[in-house]
Amino acid sequence: MIVKLSRIIKYGINGFLRNGWLSISTIGIMVLASVVFEGLILFNVVSKGAVQSLQEKIDISVYFKSNVPEDSILNIKKSLEALVEVKDVQYISRDEALVEFKKTHEADQIITQTLEQLEENPLLASINIKAKDPRHYGTIAEYLEKPIYKDLTEKVTYAQNHVVIERLISLVDTIKNTGAILTVFLSFLAIMITFNTIRLAIFSSSDQIGIMRLVGASNNFIRGPFIIEGILDGIIAAIVSFAIVIPAISFASPYIVKFIPDINLQAYFNENFIRLFLYQLVFGVGLGIVSSFIAIRRYLHV
């Protein structure tokens, strides 16, 4: 068994070296496929980060009447936190709202002077609610429509944010669907191109396969060297493609940060360097093995 395996590996390496230009062509195609694969991973990271960034900027606020006790507001906050649809609830007291308002408008002398002349705080206490999913804001708004809460609230901002929330939901769905379709299409394209390139390499060795049949070689023994070649192609392609991706990430990251400040693609790449390389390696080797296996089985009738 060990002797047989060593011969398969030897013949595979010899075939890889002997078919120099075909091996280079195959590796080139697999490099493109691997770059596309890595690009899809990073695209999904960026799109997911963009969606999360947008979701963080959307919330609904509930403003309470000035005579509502703080204990009642905190009880409502606690009841909202118990909802499965709610991600976070932040309470802002009247005093905190006034401090934040003054800080925001400190450069406006008219507003500052007006506030100083007022005898009492004109701002209302509020709670800001973030949902786990934008689709949940409607459910949360309906929950706040209960008579027990409606009598205490001055305003709920869901109505004025409704259009923005609906557009966000539509954008999230579009990004997810586009990412899924793009992933399936490009993955299929990469496999087909790689498969056809490896098929040509195997076809050039048809005489060798015929001789191996004549001397009684088993199907596995005939397949083995070509699968070894596919593995070698995949390993080299993974290394080369990853070497291409590294400077590409460094170049693209600053531009992505300008559009989506919450996404640091370079930091994500550095933190997941080994994992991303392993993904690349598994994809390259898997692509080489599968393409070689199918090509020799289907087109050479082994």
223-242: pLDDT as tens digits: 778 888 888 888 998 999 99
Tell whether the model's pLDDT for residue 185 goes beyond 60.
yes
Q: Note the helical H segments in the chain.
A: 2-18, 20-56, 70-81, 94-104, 109-117, 137-144, 147-150, 158-203, 206-214, 219-259, 265-271, 273-299
Q: What is the pLDDT of residue 298?
A: 58
Q: Percent of the chain having pLDDT more than 70? A: 87
Query: CA 24, CA 233: separation in Å to the nearest integer?
Result: 8
Output phi, psi for 250, to 5 deg. Answer: -60, -35
Indicate the pLDDT class of residue 148, thresholds 50, 70 and 90: confident
| Token pair 């596995």: residue | 220
Residues with Cβ within 8 Å of residue 79, at least 6 apart in sequence: none
Tell whether the model's pLDDT for residue 204 goes beyond 70.
no
Tell whether the model's pLDDT for residue 191 goes beyond 80.
no
Report if pTM > 0.75. Answer: no
Q: Kindly list the structural domains of the chain, giving each domain's residue range(s) and its CATH number in brackets, ordered by start.
A: 2-54+169-299 (no CATH), 66-151 (3.30.70.3040)
Output phi, psi for 89, to 5 deg. Answer: -130, 125
Q: What is the pLDDT of residue 55?
A: 73
Q: Looking at per-residue confidence, does 176 or 288 come out higher?
A: 288
DSSP-derived secondary structure for 57-89: T--EEEEEPTTS-HHHHHHHHHHHHTSTTEEEE
Q: Check: CB of residue 76 under 8 Å from CB of residue 127.
A: yes
Mean pLDDT of the chain: 80
Q: What is the pLDDT of residue 206?
A: 67
Output phi, psi for 156, to 5 deg. Answer: -120, 125
pLDDT digits over 38-56, tens only? Answer: 888 888 888 777 777 777 7
Say whether 153 sits in a helix, a strand or coil.
Answer: strand
Tell whether the model's pLDDT for residue 300 goes beyond 60.
no
